[in-house]
Structures are given as structure tokens and as C-alpha cells.
Copies of this chain bind each other. A is one copy, B any other.
């Protein structure tokens, strides 16, 4: 896929300060010429970068590089898993719990699988640079992800599923809310019961449309911040 590679190239170049002078990307035409691709690919690539908040295009003027506000921010879009995302930081993952259970009716409904389906139930506590960041309560469909052991769970499950198993992760939907921490979860975050938490409930799907994973993640309100760019579009 040329346009994804191009997006990656441009992203690297922006990071390396190649366009620092003008704070603009070259024109679509120049990029197309430079990388020997069509305008279609250029626009697709820029689109990706726009959604990541790296550039914004202004019709008639150019494609401007954005100032970043994301110091320390996690991101809801560019989701390659924590381990991949925070490469500058030390991410530590502690596996609190790991077992295979059979889905009861409620969990089966949540996981969109049949009751009795074997599921991994995993609890992990993660820290960034030694500071507690999040506690994850996760189910994985074992019919899709056959093997998860302690060692795999301590690493990047995202990477494992994608690279080792070769599965094609396509999209996830999330529900975001805030809530009071339970005593149990608070203890894992070095916080008090009743303290606030950012809560993200996540359902992840393969490109076949099959759900393989549902999770609830509690984030440390003192350290976790999320960045998100919203493109605004008037459909009515």
C-alpha cells in the first residue's frame, strides 16, 4: 500500500524537521512527483496524517504542520498498543491474573460469542516510568487467540496478535467515561478508593468483523491524558 508507506515517510520527515523551514508540506503535486505516485495516494497519506493531528490542509493555501499539544498524551486513534506508542518511556506490565474461563450468558453477549466459548480472562497493571498508569480487565476469545501465556501477557498483546499470529486488526469501539475507583483497582494504581478514574471500555474487531477482545481499562487520573482530533463535518 503506497499511501500508508508514504504517510509513514512524511511522518518521519516531519519528525526529523525536514519541513521545519516553511512549516508546510510540499504541494500535492510535488509530493506526487517526488514519490512517483498519483494524487490519490498523496491525498490518502495526508488524510492519515491529518487524522493523527500532524498536519492540517487549507484549501487554496497548503498543508500546514501542526504544533503538538500532546506532551505525555496517549492517543485514542493511533492505537498500536501502549508499548508501541510510548517508545520513549519505560512501560512495565504486571500480570495480576490469567485464566481460561467458559463464557456465561452475560459475557457471551458482550463478546458476541456462544455461551461456553473458552475465553482468556486477564488482569494487568501497567506503569509508565515507574508510575502506575492503568489497570486492565480483559477477555480474549480463545477460539481466535489460541495461546496467551504469562510471558506474552507481559509484553505487547497487540503486537503479538498482529505480528506473531498474523491477524488483521481492523477497528475498535470505545466507550469513555469517568468513575470512582473501587478499593481493589485503586490499590493497583496507588490511589484511594473513591478517587476518579478515566474508564475506557473497549471492543476490538478483526477485519472479518469478528470481535476478539473486550476490555475495561481504568487509568490513573493523575497521569493519563488522551489526545483526540475531531474532524467536523456537516451531514445535514
Contacts and interface: CB of A to CB of B under 8 A. Distances in A.
A91 interface: no
Contact of A7 (B7, B61, B175, B235): B235
Given A170-B231, A180-B196, A175 B226 contact: yes
Given A56-B205, A64-B209, A196-B197, A171 B229 contact: yes
A105 interface: no
Interface stretch (A25-33, A96-104, A124-132, A217-225): A217-225
Interface string A205-236: 10111000000000101001111111111111
Contacts of A73: 175
A77 B235 CA distance: 12
Contacts of A7: 235
Given A175-B227, A198-B178, A207 B11 contact: no
A173 interface: yes
A134 to B, nearest CB: 12
Contacts of A58: 207-209
Contacts of A219: 178
Interface in A147-179: 162, 169-179
B48 A230 contact: no
B233 A176 contact: no
Contacts of A180: 195-196, 221
B230 A171 contact: yes
B177 A230 contact: no
A53 interface: yes
Contacts of A114: none
A225 B170 contact: no
A173 B209 contact: no
Interface of A: 4, 7-8, 11, 48, 50, 53, 56, 58-59, 61, 64, 69, 73, 76-80, 84, 162, 169-180, 195-198, 203-205, 207-209, 219, 221, 224-236
6 contacts: A78-B235, A79-B230, A173-B228, A176-B198, A180-B196, A180-B221
